[in-house]
Structure 1
Amino acid sequence: MAGETRHPNAPSRALLEGMYRTALKIRVFETEGIKLYRQGLIRGYFHPYLGQEGIATGVCAALKEGDYIASTHRGHGHCIAWGADVKKMVAELLQKETGYCKGYGGSMHIADISVGNLGANGIVGAGTPLGVGAALANQIKGNDAVTVTFTTDGASNNGTFLESLNLAAIWNLSFVLVIENNQYAVSTKIEESTRETDLYKRGTAIGVESHQVDGNDPLAVYEVMKQAVETCRAGKGPVLIEAKTYRHMGHHVNDPGKYMPADRLAYYKERDPVDRARDALTKMTDIEASEIEAIEAEIRQEFEDAVEFSRASGEVGVAEFREFAAIY
């Protein structure tokens, strides 16, 4: 994945600016979210998307209203790229009643079915069959919606991976399975869990159009995803995309990640997806430095406002919690 990626079609400023906003918003959300966790304001686990921002950014930029996404335990970036309200996301993390799931979901279970966000999922690999089910439902309805499931290299060894993808292939579903290959399943490196580390080949083996892309290049991800969406809307799905990346830290905030080689981490940090989104915007458009600074200030202010909103929000009361628990 070394070297610069060539982009044959000059993208619009609106697209590039939108992708930089998304990538940076994810970076700010995760970086500042870690601080909230350290302050004891976020309970439970917190799995940062740091270093993987280019994937959610590029994938969601190629989708449209009416499409669907299904997420993973590391799902904040997917929600933000899909256009989630940062105030409601922070409120959910802080277990406030103004959160997307009234605080019941927390970090690993944010969902908004009203806009096609089928939700994050704490069960490894569970989002893949959910996505296939949604794609089948849309086929039965006769619409052209595309469903995307984000999954992981670790989940690719789960039986639901090939079972679900094979069903999608048999039924020609408008389904895109995106493997975010950050090369570790918790602390197990990919070379220790499979002989063939090019995971896109698993799709090729069962007759699914499959691609591998540099997941740290948001524009490259967008371009391959755009093609995948066109394939699906033409009734020739599904498509598998393996986006190779590397997280910037351990599996979760309390994992020091000492098993990650320093030189390998440095290699990927030099190819930081947020920096590359910014570089693409500055080099391919006429945007001024002052405009970029304004975008960055706006995004940071948005997060600060979200924290203030969340702190002022109440938590679900005991009576309402018991009523909720009785239903589910």
Structure 2
Amino acid sequence: MPYQTDFLLRVYRVMKTIREFEERCIKEFEAGTIPGFVHASNGQEAVAVAACIDLSDKDIIGSTHRGHGHCIAKGCDVSGMMQEIMGRATGLCKGKGGSMHIADFDKGMIGANAIVGGGPPLCNGAALGAKTRGTKDIALSFSGDGSANQGTVLEALNLAVVLKLPHVFMFENNGYAEGTSANYALGCDSLAERNRSFGMPSVCVDGNDFFAVYEACKEAIARARNGEGPTAIEATTVRFDGHFIGDPQLYRGDGEVKAARKEQDCLQFFQARVLKEKWLSQEQMDTIDAEVMELIEQAVQDGLSAPKPNPATDLLADVYCTY
């Protein structure tokens, strides 16, 4: 058996937690208990978990506006996240970050980022810090197919090669930059080809297949830890919901989303694989399903009952830092 049972159970638990967390966030947003915008990552769970499952708290990740899954995969507290998304004072960022700006430095999560392409340059800095200190820590940045066209990302790719940084670039190509198709916006057949031109190893994997993404990440992370420099990974995946919750998705074809949920569900693929190989049983996964639902329900109740920030005392707190 190539994978330990405990490892597979942990993988499934995290993937399932992300899925149910996102589904519940959608319901709570529609019920009016979550302010602002919500960008769900349903359908992309395999990429987040495969990229983060072997990382330690000292390894750094940088995320995107679609970052709930990355946060959970990196170990951020689910209840603290829900409280943050609901704008509560007890949230991970004291209710000031919300859905698009969750961060937890203790877990190596330096922040989701509403600036498209904002993560890779930050992770270059984290990677440079690790290299300068002589640690084996690495940085891993998440980007979408849209951010891949941003100058900040292209500069980050080049600089990572020039400085031979321990940085893994993860590009989640879900086919759409908001509403613009990757087939239209990318002037190349694949991101992997373009990323390779910067002088780093670059691969394209099926982002719906946890095992394919995991093996690619495992190799890339090992290269980074061994001082061999950056790697770029393009994971072709799918977004089950719109750019944001409430997006009418008029740019998608008739039946496209329904077909994606039926034919491109990474959780279903994972379940089918582990059952076929007899690595896990349905009973084991059913037990996890029940425990995850309890966890999410408790997180929601914690969020609804948590206090909101007090404008008189909290408005300017933690805004400025004095050294």
TM-score (norm 2): 0.95
SS in structure 1 opposite 2:143?
Answer: strand
SS in structure 2 opposite 1:104?
Answer: coil
Give the Å deviation of 1:183.
1.0
Is the 2:75–2:107 Cα contact (8 Å) retained in structure 1? no
Is the 1:13–1:285 Cα contact (8 Å) retained in structure 2? no
Cα offsets for 1:204-255 (capped at 9, x unmatched) = 1111110100011111111110000111111111000000011012101010
Q: Report what 1:43 is aligned to.
A: 35
Cα offsets for 1:252-282 (capped at 9, x unmatched) = 1010213112455455431211112222332
Give the Å deviation of 1:111.
0.1
Identity %: 39
Pairing 1:16–2:8 present:
yes
Pairing 1:104–2:96 present:
yes
Alignment match of 2:179 (pick from 187, 190, 211): 187
Give the Å deviation of 1:323.
3.0
Q: Report what 1:68 is aligned to.
A: 60
Pairing 1:115–2:103 present:
no
Cα distance change of structure 1 residues 155 and 326 upon mapping to structure 2, 3 Å threshold: closer
Q: Report what 1:318 is aligned to.
A: 311
Alignment match of 1:299 (pick from 292, 295, 304): 292
Hey, what's the Cα distance between the residues in 2 that align with 1:109 and 1:286? Answer: 37
Hey, what's the Cα distance between the residues in 2 that align with 1:267 and 1:254? Answer: 20
Give the Å deviation of 1:69.
0.5
Amino acid at match of 1:273: C
Cα offsets for 1:164-216 (capped at 9, x unmatched) = 11111011110001000011111111122122140111221111110100011
Alignment match of 2:20 (pick from 28, 36, 41): 28
Amino acid at match of 1:231: R
Pairing 1:229–2:221 present:
yes
Q: Note the 1:72-221 alignment, pairs <5 A.
A: 72-221=64-213
SS in structure 1 opposite 2:285?
Answer: helix
Aligned residues: 320
**Which has the higher mean CA deviation after the structures are superposed, 14-23 or 315-324?**
315-324
Hey, what's the Cα distance between the residues in 2 that align with 1:10 and 1:264? Answer: 35
Give the Å deviation of 1:110.
0.3
Cα distance change of structure 1 residues 241 and 326 upon mapping to structure 2, 3 Å threshold: closer
SS in structure 1 opposite 2:216?
Answer: helix
**Which has the higher mean CA deviation after the structures are superposed, 278-287 or 69-78?**
278-287
Cα offsets for 1:136-190 (capped at 9, x unmatched) = 0111111010100000110011001110111110111100010000111111111
For structure 1, list consecutive stretches of 5 or more residues without a partner in the other structure: 1-8
Pairing 1:275–2:268 present:
yes
Amino acid at match of 1:225: C
Hey, what's the Cα distance between the residues in 1 that align with 2:315 and 2:219? Answer: 48
SS in structure 1 opposite 2:316?
Answer: helix
**Which has the higher mean CA deviation after the structures are superposed, 112-121 or 188-197?**
188-197
For structure 2, list consecutive stretches of 5 or more residues without a partner in the other structure: none
Hey, what's the Cα distance between the residues in 1 that align with 2:119 and 2:281? Answer: 41
Amino acid at match of 1:199: L
Q: Report what 1:327 is aligned to.
A: 320
Give the Å deviation of 1:319.
1.6
Amino acid at match of 1:308: Q
Cα distance change of structure 1 residues 274 and 262 upon mapping to structure 2, 3 Å threshold: farther
Hey, what's the Cα distance between the residues in 2 that align with 1:87 and 1:246? Answer: 26
